[in-house]
Amino acid sequence: MAPLPMADLPSAQSPSAAKSPSAGGSGSRPSPAILMCPPDYYGIEYEINPWMSRSRQSDPERSRQQWAALQALLQQLGAEIRLLEPVRGLPDLVFTANAALVVRNTIYLARFRYPARQPETAVDELWFREQGFDCITLPDRWSFEGAGDALFCGDTLFGGYVIRSDAGALHWLGGQIGCRTLPLQLVDQYYYHLDTCFCPLSDTEALYFPPAFDEYAQRSLTEAIPGLIAIAPEEAQRFACNAVVVGRHVVINTGCPRLEIDLRTHGYTPHSTELDEFIKAGGSAKCLTLRLDGEEAARWP
Ligand code: ARG
């Protein structure tokens, strides 16, 4: 990966700048902490979304390079990357976004819809417990796929449902956390997780791909978020909405020129990095990360 031009780098953050331990404190925040899992055992071993085809295998070497470039880029933007150890036989463990919803020190563990991913939860839970987080398991009548389907924009928790997570789980989470939840019905199997079609940038701005939502959800989004940026279909297909926000920097897959212009217009600096090996499994930048200290847009209650 080419080094970042200096002008695009964030100003140096010293650890002493860290103040509030909670997301959304006004002023300075601790340096961002992001959980990632190296793609040692990543591959297309089953098909649980329309992007996946066992006949279109990922290339292990390219996957490793793309993952490492993403990690390096996030580090250059000031993020501390924490690592989950990969496990043979769990190819999708790389998509740490699905491990859980993080709210301060509490981890709401995923309950995966498909049996193929269910064994990931024990691995995730062990890691979170070792790090001192409190882990909560949802009632077993619901599926819930972590930050893939639950994203704060301001103090509201936006939840994607039907395809992977259940609306009941989102309401239950809102009650536990004590926040407003806005369940959004996803209607396109290609955009099966909320983070494939929606990305909060700040408490008032978000990227979204309108056709991925039912009409009611589209209306809820327009009413709730004043600064919505609609993504074009050809860029949504390149996972434009699956972005990682670090301060005013936004990391995305390559091939999203319109989004890059829109981001700059809104005062953000886009950074694109090739992630097509992961799109073969239906994931991109955001899916490969889990923000542990609260997303930029989150205002935890
Ligand atoms: N193959 C994985 C699945 O279908 C990809 C998960 C992508 N993660 C995400 N947060 N969208 O579950």
3-state secondary structure the chain: CCCCCHHHCCCCCCHHHCCCCCCCCCCCCCCCEEEECCCCCCCCCCCCCCCCCCCCCCCHHHHHHHHHHHHHHHHHCCCEEEECCCCCCCHHHHCHHHCEEEECCEEEECECCCHHHCCHHHHHHHHHHHCCCEEECCCCCCCECHHHCEEEEECEEEEEECCCCCHHHHHHHHHHHCCEEEEEEECCHHHCCHHHCEEEEECCEEEECHHHECHHHHHHHHHHCCEEEECCHHHHCCCCCCCEEECCEEEECCCCHHHHHHHHHCCCEEEECCCHHHHCCCCCCHHHCEECCCCCCECCC
Strands 290-291 and 205-208, by their bridges, are: unpaired
pLDDT tens per residue across span 79-120: 999 999 999 999 999 999 999 999 999 999 999 999 999 999
Is 179 labeled as catalytic in the residue annotation? no
Task: Note whether residue 17 is domain-resident.
Answer: no
To test the pocket of ligand 1, the residue of 36, 92, 290 to mutate (highest count of ligand atoms within 8 Å of its CB) is 92
- C-alpha 28 – ligand 1 centre gap (Å): 32
Task: Note whether residue 3 is domain-resident.
Answer: no
For the CA of 91, the closest atom of ligand 1 is 1
Each as own residue / partner, the long-range contacts of residues 13-19 (CB below 8 Å, 24 or more positions apart, any chain) are 13/78
Task: Note whether residue 151 is domain-resident.
Answer: yes
What pLDDT is stored for residue 29 in this prediction? 65
Task: Note whether residue 261 is domain-resident.
Answer: yes
- C-alpha 95 – ligand 1 centre gap (Å): 6
- C-alpha 282 – ligand 1 centre gap (Å): 6
Task: Note whether residue 45 is domain-resident.
Answer: yes
Number of domains in the chain: 1
What pLDDT is stored for residue 20 in this prediction? 36
For the CA of 283, the closest atom of ligand 1 is 7
- C-alpha 158 – ligand 1 centre gap (Å): 18
The pLDDT of 231-251, averaged and rounded, is 98
Confidence of residue 25 (pLDDT cuts 50, 70, 90): very low
Distance CA 23, CA 126 (A): 24
Task: Note whether residue 14 is domain-resident.
Answer: no
For the CA of 196, the closest atom of ligand 1 is 11
For the CA of 195, the closest atom of ligand 1 is 11
Q: Could you tell me if 158 and 220 are in contact, meaning their C-beta atoms sit under 8 angstroms apart? A: no
The angle subtended at Cα 202 by Cα 196 and Cα 203, nearest 5°, is 105
The pLDDT of 186-210, averaged and rounded, is 98
- C-alpha 12 – ligand 1 centre gap (Å): 33
- C-alpha 37 – ligand 1 centre gap (Å): 13
pLDDT above 60 for 16: no
CATH number at residue 225: 3.75.10.10
Mention every residue, 6+ apart, whose C-beta is less than 8 A from residue 291: 32, 33, 34, 102, 147, 244
Task: Note whether residue 2 is domain-resident.
Answer: no
Task: Note whether residue 20 is domain-resident.
Answer: no
Confidence of residue 22 (pLDDT cuts 50, 70, 90): very low
| Percent of the chain with pLDDT strictly greater than 70 | 90
Which domain range does residue 65 map to? 30-291
What pLDDT is stored for residue 70 in this prediction? 98
To test the pocket of ligand 1, the residue of 90, 95, 295 to mutate (highest count of ligand atoms within 8 Å of its CB) is 95
To test the pocket of ligand 1, the residue of 34, 37, 98 to mutate (highest count of ligand atoms within 8 Å of its CB) is 98
pLDDT tens per residue across span 217-240: 999 999 999 999 999 999 999 999
Out of 37, 153, 193, 249, the active site residue is 193
For the CA of 112, the closest atom of ligand 1 is 12
Is 193 labeled as catalytic in the residue annotation? yes
Enter the pTM of the model.
0.92
Residues lining ligand 1, Cβ inside 6 A: 48-49, 52, 92, 95, 97-98, 117, 148, 193, 195-196, 281-283, 287
